[in-house]
A and B are shown apart, each in its own frame.
Chain A
Amino acid sequence: GEDVEQSLFLSVREGDSSVINCTYTDSSSTYLYWYKQEPGAGLQLLTYIFSNMDMKQDQRLTVLLNKKDKHLSLRIADTQTGDSAIYFCAEGLETYKYIFGTGTRLKVLA
């Protein structure tokens, strides 16, 4: 079946790097996405990676994809207090479906 799993919480100190991990089960994904959600708001697309890529860098964000292990990670360099939010990974499937994880709550300590 289709399932995306993430750890629930991550706490880091301001200025450190954050790494948020995600595993998925469906191998037919075309793109994989990372979204950020602040309290009471919708989901904001942060970055995405095509399923045949291994890595993508976008300013402070680095996405790593291990397709063999179905593992996706998001690294945030120089984490700031404004990065505190819930981060969702999602699979985009060929069938127009998007499967979301349960979200990782990132807390950045000053």
Chain B
Amino acid sequence: EAEVAQSPRYKITEKSQAVAFWCDPISGHATLYWYRQILGQGPELLVQFQDESVVDDSQLPKDRFSAERLKGVDSTLKIQPAELGDSAMYLCASSAGTAEKLFFGSGTQLSVL
């Protein structure tokens, strides 16, 4: 069964360092999402891509976060510099289209020390 791939699974970094997360969506899924999930809460959207274009990045802290999906397939989310409050699970998800089923990867658990 096709899956959304994410790496790394865990990341520990010190504050002010740069971190990057990678996501490969299910083949053929044009829409890709990055979510942040703080412990005890539901996922919150950071950025949404349709192919290589950003559709919604209104909740992305653009002073330190950036995301790209250059060829409309895999995507990278970067944080520079990391802050203590960035500790969370970062989830990537993809779907085939509008309001279609959303499939999640296993996530990257980030700890900022």
Contact of A97 among B50, B56, B109 (CB under 8 A): B56
A31-47 interface (Cβ within 8 A of B): 31, 33, 35, 40-45
B54-113 interface (Cβ within 8 A of A): 55-56, 91, 93, 98-107, 109
Contact of A100 among B43, B55, B109 (CB under 8 A): B43
Main secondary structure of the interface of A (DSSP, over half): strand
Contact of B31 among A35, A40, A96 (CB under 8 A): A96
**A98 to B102, Cβ gap below 8 A?**
yes
With a cutoff of 8 Å between Cβ atoms, the chain B residues found around residue A101 in the complex are 42
Using CB atoms, name the residue of chain B closest to A88.
Answer: B42
Bound-complex Cα distance A100 to B36 (A)? 12
**A33 to B101, Cβ gap below 8 A?**
yes
Contact of B98 among A41, A48, A88, A94 (CB under 8 A): A94
Bound-complex Cα distance A45 to B91 (A)? 14
Bound-complex Cα distance A96 to B101 (A)? 11
Number of A residues with CB within 8 Å of any CB on chain B = 26
With a cutoff of 8 Å between Cβ atoms, the chain B residues found around residue A35 in the complex are 104
Bound-complex Cα distance A42 to B107 (A)? 5
How many whole Å from A47's CB to the nearest CB in chain B? Answer: 10
Give B residues with C-beta under 8 Å from A.
4, 6, 31, 33, 40-45, 48, 50, 55-56, 91, 93, 98-107, 109
Give A residues with C-beta under 8 Å from B.
4, 29-31, 33, 35, 40-45, 48, 88, 90, 92-98, 100-103
